[in-house]
Structure 1
Amino acid sequence: MPVNRNALIRYKTIDACLRNRRRRWTLADLIEKVSDTLYDYEGMEKGISRRTIQADIQMMRSDKLGYNAPIIIVEKKYYMYEDPDYSITNIPLSDADLTRMTEAVEVLKQFKGFTHFEHLNGVVQKLEGHVYASGHDKQTIIDFEKNENLKGLEHLNTIYEAIVNGMVLEISYQSFKALEPTPLDLHGWWLKEFKNRWFVVGAKGRNEEPTTLALDRIVAVKANKEKLYYPNESDYTPQTYYQHVIGPTVMKLRPNRVRIAVTGEHVPYVATKPLHPSQRIIEMAQDRMIIELLVITNLELEREILGFGNGMEVLEPARLRNRIAEKTRKAADLYSTE
């Protein structure tokens, strides 16, 4: 059964009201709330009739749309959900929905071998997991790494929409070293994810060098469509910008040839999961491997190396070797006994 936009807005508004159990909702209250919402979203000034809302409630109670909403009336006056955890947004997928989603997954899987559609791989796997879980009434069999409590995730949608629609971002930004946040305008170009942390890359003005801001250090952000937005007119793309780095930190330095000896149990891990796309194996033995990277030596590279502990030794360049050696000595001092 096709449902028009206004009807969907009414259903969602009634649903939001009935989920709010801190207030008791009469039919008049629901009519007023739905009328206000339609005015805000659609500019409709004409009030909603009593009959319309009553018909909406009956439709939500029925299985015509798959809602089967447990709407009851208490004290012959107040409407509420009998199940306090119910919402029309939580209804399970129907068999028809599962069939269509399964077909969609099969179509998307056809693109997984093409390099132009490599970004679809994660989407396809997530859809496959969701369809399997819904169809078998089980937990998903694919669990992706995530950190839902990470600070700054609430800004993702605002920043994404601003980039897509070409709007200037007005940001209040406070670095870890700053005592107070600083206001700035950013013309966002793209979003970057690294180890579950998100960053926005753009420029503070026309013809300026790219700036990278961490979302977990953004105090507040809003999009301003009145200000003139400067799109990315440089030669930078995410692919070229991060070509010689690990992580989001890009400095205007020449990449270095970094040679690292990998030993012991870490050899197969580094061989099968390279530190960087430029990684080449120079020497290979049973329990020792020497790799070469063409990268800019930044903090993220150092953290990757230090994360392997005594399983990695930087051979060159000397400056990076000395930095890793110094940090390793300081770490060892933390565990030394008097």
Structure 2
Amino acid sequence: MSSNKNALIRYKTIDSCLRNRAKEYTLEDLIDVCSDALFEFEGKESFLSKRTIQLDIQNMRSEKLGYNAPIEVYDRKFYRYSDDTFSIKNIPVTEKDVQIINESIQLLKQFKDFSLFKQMSGVIQRLEDSVISGKNQKSIIHLDKNENLKGLEFIDVLYEAILKKKVLNVSYKSFKAREINQMQIHPQLLKEFNNRWFVICWHKTRIYNLALDRIEEIADDLAETYIDKKVDGDTYFNEVIGATVSERNRPTNVIFFVEKNNAPYVKTKPFHHSQEVLEENENGTLFKIKVQLNFELERMILGFGDLITVMQPRKLRMRIEQTLKNAVKNYRD
């Protein structure tokens, strides 16, 4: 459970205790009650120090969370609210809160027709109906999305399989294959890149990256035991651009030059988190990133056309050069 959720459970538990005039609560009592509440939610013991509960009380008293709780200590050891009617559950929603909710509603509405988020449509509608100032408000943020992409109908099935650790039988046909390939997969992670979705899965002896738009059919395989490879997205994709990861290839230094008028775009929107500036002059900027060489990297570089020049490694430079030469041939009579 996240630390934020833990804290919220403690705040609600403390609030319930301080509103109870039939019992007196010491700091030790609050620790015990909060520990029991966390055990009920998590199913495991949680060690809470005096310092933790003291900080919770301090936060509830302050404006930090918007509670301003009138917590007092009497007889030098018991805690209660000085106002019998107070509860953190009764804190009114401010105008700023309403504005934030409105903005969030408009953002969520952009996903309401997307398969994975369809179950949220009713929640979004109830939120919009409850927030009067949100009526007829247009969305200020627009996200790039395409609900008509082939394969999106499989997201729900794959999401549930990952969540419930289920093995799947998949009919898969890559763009290069002549026939459909039957695969037994252990789905680990869903990945979106450039408006295309992929499932990262374990198949036989290694991890595969399957594009959802090339999946033909999916069925549960209840006879097989799920293999959890504990794939962490941040770690797994740390050394690549896009969704293609190779277990054999190591990251390499990619050095490229961008002409001066377009260098600011690359500075403000780096190709990769490892990007750094090596040199700048009146003609442009020399950048370096450390990534695996893959298809997505090449497509990103080619998207800049003649505004970018790959300096190293030589293998990548030659591939980009040959691709550009082939492109020129397409425009010759």
TM-score, scaled to structure 1 = 0.60
| Aligned-pair Cα RMSD in Å | 2.9
Distance 1:133 1:266, change over 3 A: farther
Distance 1:292 1:231, change over 3 A: same
Residue 198 of structure 2 is matched in structure 1 by: 199
Query: 1:225 offset after TM fit, Å?
Result: 3.6
For the residues of structure 2 that align with 1:128 and 1:149, how far apart are their CA atoms? Answer: 17
SS at 2:206's partner residue?
coil
Distance 1:179 1:134, change over 3 A: farther
Query: 1:104 offset after TM fit, Å?
Result: 8.7
Q: Is 1:269 matched with 2:265?
A: yes
Residue 233 of structure 2 is matched in structure 1 by: 238
Residue 210 of structure 1 is matched in structure 2 by: 207
Residue 153 of structure 1 is matched in structure 2 by: 152
For the residues of structure 2 that align with 1:127 and 1:306, how far apart are their CA atoms? Answer: 34
Q: Is the 8 A contact 2:106 2:138 kept in 1?
A: no
For the residues of structure 1 that align with 2:99 and 2:218, how far apart are their CA atoms? Answer: 36
Partner AA of 2:234 in structure 1: Q
Query: 1:180 offset after TM fit, Å?
Result: 2.1
Distance 1:268 1:287, change over 3 A: farther
Partner AA of 1:229 in structure 2: Y
Residue 167 of structure 1 is matched in structure 2 by: 166
Q: Is 1:141 matched with 2:179?
A: no
Distance 1:154 1:332, change over 3 A: same
Distance 1:317 1:228, change over 3 A: same
For the residues of structure 1 that align with 2:327 and 2:144, how far apart are their CA atoms? Answer: 28
Distance 1:309 1:259, change over 3 A: same
For the residues of structure 1 that align with 2:132 and 2:184, how far apart are their CA atoms? Answer: 43
Distance 1:300 1:139, change over 3 A: same
SS at 1:126's partner residue?
helix
TM-score, scaled to structure 2 = 0.61
Residue 324 of structure 1 is matched in structure 2 by: 320
For the residues of structure 2 that align with 1:134 and 1:170, how far apart are their CA atoms? Answer: 48
Distance 1:265 1:186, change over 3 A: same
Q: Is the 8 A contact 1:242 1:250 kept in 2?
A: yes
For the residues of structure 2 that align with 1:198 and 1:242, how far apart are their CA atoms? Answer: 14
Residue 284 of structure 2 is matched in structure 1 by: 288
Partner AA of 1:244 in structure 2: E
For the residues of structure 1 that align with 2:259 and 2:105, how far apart are their CA atoms? Answer: 36
Query: 1:147 offset after TM fit, Å?
Result: 1.0
Q: Is 1:221 matched with 2:218?
A: yes
Aligned length in residues: 222
Partner AA of 2:150 in structure 1: K
Among 228, 245, 251, the residue aligned to 1:250:
245
Partner AA of 1:126 in structure 2: L
Residue 79 of structure 1 is matched in structure 2 by: none
Q: Is the 8 A contact 2:257 2:310 kept in 1?
A: yes
For the residues of structure 1 that align with 2:227 and 2:265, how far apart are their CA atoms? Answer: 43
Among 301, 304, 312, the residue aligned to 2:300:
304
For the residues of structure 1 that align with 2:108 and 2:328, how far apart are their CA atoms? Answer: 46
For the residues of structure 1 that align with 2:105 and 2:223, how far apart are their CA atoms? Answer: 38
Residue-by-residue CA offset, 1:162-221 (whole Å, 9 max, x unaligned): 11001111111011122221211100111111011111111124xx22111110000011
Query: 1:280 offset after TM fit, Å?
Result: 0.4
Please, which runs of 5 or more residues in structure 2 have no aligned partner?
1-92, 111-123
For the residues of structure 1 that align with 2:100 and 2:137, how far apart are their CA atoms? Answer: 21
Query: 1:268 offset after TM fit, Å?
Result: 1.0
Query: 1:256 offset after TM fit, Å?
Result: 0.9
Distance 1:324 1:185, change over 3 A: same
SS at 2:329's partner residue?
helix
Q: Is the 8 A contact 1:105 1:127 kept in 2?
A: no
Residue 118 of structure 2 is matched in structure 1 by: none
Q: Is the 8 A contact 1:105 1:124 kept in 2?
A: no
For the residues of structure 2 that align with 1:124 and 1:274, how far apart are their CA atoms? Answer: 30
For the residues of structure 1 that align with 2:109 and 2:151, how far apart are their CA atoms? Answer: 28
Partner AA of 1:154 in structure 2: E
For the residues of structure 2 that align with 1:125 and 1:139, how far apart are their CA atoms? Answer: 7
Distance 1:306 1:134, change over 3 A: farther
For the residues of structure 2 that align with 1:126 and 1:285, how far apart are their CA atoms? Answer: 41
Residue 126 of structure 1 is matched in structure 2 by: 107
